[in-house]
Chains A and B, each alone.
Chain A
Amino acid sequence: SQTIHQWPATLVQPVGSPLSLECTVEGTSNPNLYWYRQAAGRGLQLLFYSVGIGQISSEVPQNLSASRPQDRQFILSSKKLLLSDSGFYLCAWSVIYGERYQWDTEAFFGQGTRLTVV
């Protein structure tokens, strides 16, 4: 079965420090991968998505970057954290079951990383 691992679960970092959050997926090949941020317990904002190795699409301009060095690995990074980067970061994956004009998908989330920038 497929599983998704995201770490660390919580992180407290000072302003200006670098960031690296990692997400790995097991049990599937060529998944679509996503990074979301959730502020104040509500609303999921899509930050980045990737449809393949080295392919990253950014949804919003921000202080963060993403990379996909391997098929099932997705990394969220920052060179210098800002206070506004605090939030709950969620990694997700999905696969597409393509059938002509109907593309079925299901997306599954990791447990999340609570980032506090101080």
Chain B
Amino acid sequence: GQQLNQSPQSMFIQEGEDVSMNCTSSSIFNTWLWYKQDPGEGPVLLIALYKAGELTSNGRLTAQFGITRKDSFLNISASIPSDVGIYFCAGQLGGSGGSNYKLTFGKGTLLTVNP
């Protein structure tokens, strides 16, 4: 089955630093999604990517859909304490067929920001 490798598993950074995390897959996805989860809450969608090579920004967040369709990265610029949380990537194959609607998640990147 499809698997996503997300790295790094955790990061400890100082406030103001930039952050980069990525996901790679053994097979292609046609949609990449990035989520953030705060403790005890459900994941919140940050950015959705639909086309290979697409670069999308949402405030201080920037994500890219890899050309090969097998990877994606998320950058956070000028980190602040509220950026703390677990960041997940997710891929979906899409297209017709029920099983193609499934989202496959990476194992998450735990981000800690020191003030």
- A44-B88, A90-B43, A96-B94 given; A103·B105 CB < 8 A: no
Whether the pair B45, A101 counts as a contact (CB closer than 8 A) is no
B25 to chain A, nearest CB (A): 15
Q: Which residue of B lies closest to A4 (CB)?
A: B42
How many residues on the A side are at the interface (Cβ–Cβ under 8 A)? 31
Which bracket fits the contact residues of B?
Answer: 20 to 34
A105 at the interface (CB under 8 A from B): yes
The chain B residue sitting closest to A97, CB to CB, is B50
Contact of A74 with B by CB under 8 A? no
**Which residue of A41, A43, A55, A107 is within 8 Å of B98 (Cβ)?**
A55
Contacts of A107 in B (CB 8 A): 33, 45, 90, 92, 103
Q: Which of B33, B48, B101, B103 is packed against the most chain A CB atoms within 10 Å?
A: B101
Closest residue on chain B to residue A91 by CB atoms: B42
Q: Is A117 an interface position by the 8 A CB rule?
A: no
> B107 to chain A: which residues have CB within 8 Å?
42-43
Residue of chain A at shortest CB distance from B41 = A111
- B56 interface hit (Cβ, 8 Å): no
Query: Are B33 and A102 in contact, with the CB atoms below 8 A?
Result: no
A109 at interface (Cβ–Cβ under 8 A)? yes
Residues of B within 8 A of A (CB): 30-31, 33, 35, 39-45, 48, 50-51, 86, 88, 90, 92, 94-95, 98-105, 107-108, 110
Q: A51-B101, A105-B92, A105-B101 are in contact. List 9 more A-B contacts (CB 8 A).
A: A6-B42, A32-B101, A36-B105, A49-B101, A55-B98, A90-B43, A92-B103, A103-B31, A109-B42
